[in-house]
Amino acid sequence: MLRMRKTPIETTLEGFAQVMEAGLVSHIGACNIDAAKLSAAMEASACSELPRYEWVHNEYNLLNRHDEQVLFERCTDYGIGYTPYSPLAGGVLSGNYVRGDPPPPESRLALRAEGQAPSNAAFDAIAKLGREAKRRRWERRRAGAGLGHESSAGDRADLQTRPEGRTPATVSRSAGR
């Protein structure tokens, strides 16, 4: 079994300092980092006068909202930006997958090496999200807020409560979607 040694954050930041001093990069950030590791990196930066992370790039979508619990607050506290990736959970939230069926040919999941369909837990979560969306649409219609455009003032207000830069943009990879 191959065991990876853990690289001290100071070593990583020292490496970033070298490439910054060489003019190869101007800013640094972290990808797939949790709140505890971000705090450790920021503390190491401050104590050692090393460059600090200025951005976080983590997976964030309706099926993976863990960053909301602590990381968003830490990013705000440190003045760090946050950009989510995989807003459609690798295509799982696209509606292209059916419980019990293999992924359609040429779909993102079919092209993955493991080629596996979403788990039953993922389908359960998607069904729950669908029921919640339907309930909210019904409530908006009852309140008269859902007339006309499907994106209501309530949807926009929800987005406006999120700190700048944290609202995922959805981009299709093909013209047919």
| Bridge partners (DSSP) listed for residue 81 | 55
How does pLDDT run across 127-148, given as a tens digit for each residue?
898 898 888 888 888 887 545 4
For every residue of 129-177, which 3-state class applies, written as one string?
Answer: HHHHHHHHHHHHHHHCCCCCCCCCHHHHHHHHCCCCCCCCCCCCCCCCC
Minimum mean pLDDT among 55-59, 93-97, 115-119: which range? 115-119
